[in-house]
Amino acid sequence: MAESRIRFRHLQAFLEVARQGSVARAADFLHVSAPAVTKTLRELEEALGVAVVERDGRGIRVTRLGEIFLGHAGSAISALKRGVDSVRQDGALNRDPIRIGALPTVSARVMPLAMNLFLEENTGAALKIVTGENAVLLEQLRVGALDLVVGRLAAPEHMTGFFFEHLYSEQVLFVVRAGHPLAEPGTDIFARLDEFPVLMPTRESVIRPFVDRLFITNGMTAPATEIETVSDSFGRSFMRQSNAVWIISAGVVANEIASGAFVALPVDTEETKGPVGLTMRTDTAPSPAFTILLQTIREAARHHA
């Protein structure tokens, strides 16, 4: 039987090659040689009877059948880790952390309060929080590198194997520093927008299609000077040192707007409003600590909604 020939190392190598898109980078991460990773992938393909990866220029991509197997492999690795954690006798401090992927808007708006509430519960569980683009975080969730993603609801075609719990809705804002020329009353914002650099969500982000449609609605195809970024720290610093316009989810800049450092321009962005919530794999079996974590994130979200 094929399943009797598949070992943990086969799944681990396959998942890491899929995540990295490169045998060499996967080998570096796994601390083995590239030929060893290649050999392990060949053994996996022989056991399955199908190719799970193929060359893509100088890199590697997962085949169509490999994509089907990928979700099951990620689930198997995650289930094994949960099983190991459940029987360890050396205390919670030595266990793998609960790994959370959070969009920048959630990292700034929800996660600080959620973490304070979670720490008050004294579960002893370790946590790891990473941020990035929604598509990247969901792929890490799919392969088992994350346990939870807190962010925007992805397109239906990207939600296979996941379920989503809505927390609140959020829209995009056009934001400038206080005293910016575009903040003058009566200014035709889109007529003058090309005079200033514009920080835009990346083309891979969930909100980018909404922003592109907003420009078309207002007679523009794209800003003359466009900088794509998902870095909120860069965005804040650049805004303070320039006349840039930042098109960003409201939660990222909520504190700066409240303090008066930034100003939201009077642009109708209602059509960019979308659901933010919890995305998990459908096979997730929450531990007690994980369940408490979900409760604290829900409470923090209600506070900021």
Kindly tell me the sign of the dihedral angle through the C-alpha atoms of 15, 21, 23, 27: negative
CATH (domain of 264): 3.40.190.10
Q: Which residues contact 253 (CB under 8 A, 6 or more apart)?
A: 173, 175, 236, 246, 262
Position 199 scores a pLDDT of 97
Assess whether 164 and 108 both reside in one domain. yes
Residue 174 shares a structural domain with residue 164: no
Same domain, residue pair 121 and 207: no
Q: Which residues pair with 154 in a beta bridge?
A: none
Q: Are residues 144 and 123 in the same domain?
A: yes
Domain encompassing residue 108? 98-168+275-303
266 and 210 in a common domain: yes
Is residue 3 a part of any domain in this protein?
Answer: no
Question: Is residue 14 included in any domain, yes or no?
Answer: yes
Judge if 104 and 132 occupy the same domain.
yes
- The answer to whether residues 111 and 28 belong to one domain is no
Domain membership of residue 199 (yes or no) is yes
Q: What is the pLDDT of residue 268?
A: 92
In a domain, 2, yes or no: no
1 in a structural domain? no
For residue 39, the domain's CATH number is: 1.10.10.10
In a domain, 234, yes or no: yes
Same domain, 50 and 189: no
- Say what the pLDDT of residue 92 is: 46
* Close Cβ partners of 209 (under 8 Å, ≥ 6 residues apart): none
- Alpha carbon 305 to its chain centroid, in Å, reads 20
Is 292 within the bounds of a domain? yes
β-strand partners of 102: 131, 150
Boundary of a domain, candidates 64, 88, 112:
88
Q: Taking a C-beta distance cutoff of 8 angstroms, is the pair 207, 228 a contact?
A: no
pLDDT given at position 82: 65
Residues 200 and 263 in one domain: yes
How much is the pLDDT for 58? 77
User: Are 76 and 137 in the same domain?
Assistant: no
Q: Per residue of the chain (305 residues), give pLDDT as tens.
A: 556 678 888 888 888 888 888 888 888 888 888 889 899 989 888 888 899 888 887 788 888 888 888 878 877 777 777 666 665 544 444 457 899 999 888 888 899 999 999 999 988 889 999 988 888 898 889 888 899 999 988 888 888 889 999 999 999 999 999 999 999 999 999 999 999 999 999 888 888 888 999 999 888 888 999 999 988 899 999 999 999 999 999 988 988 999 999 999 999 999 888 899 999 998 887 888 899 999 999 999 998 76
pTM for the model stands at 0.67
Residues 173 and 252 in one domain: yes
pLDDT of 94:
45
Give the Cα separation of 296 and 114 in Å (integer). Answer: 5
The domain total for the chain is 3
Q: How far apart are CA 223 and CA 219, in angstroms?
A: 11
Among 67, 88, 109, where does a domain finish? 88
Give the domain-ending residue among 88, 119, 139: 88
Q: Identify whether residues 76 and 114 lie together within a single domain.
A: no
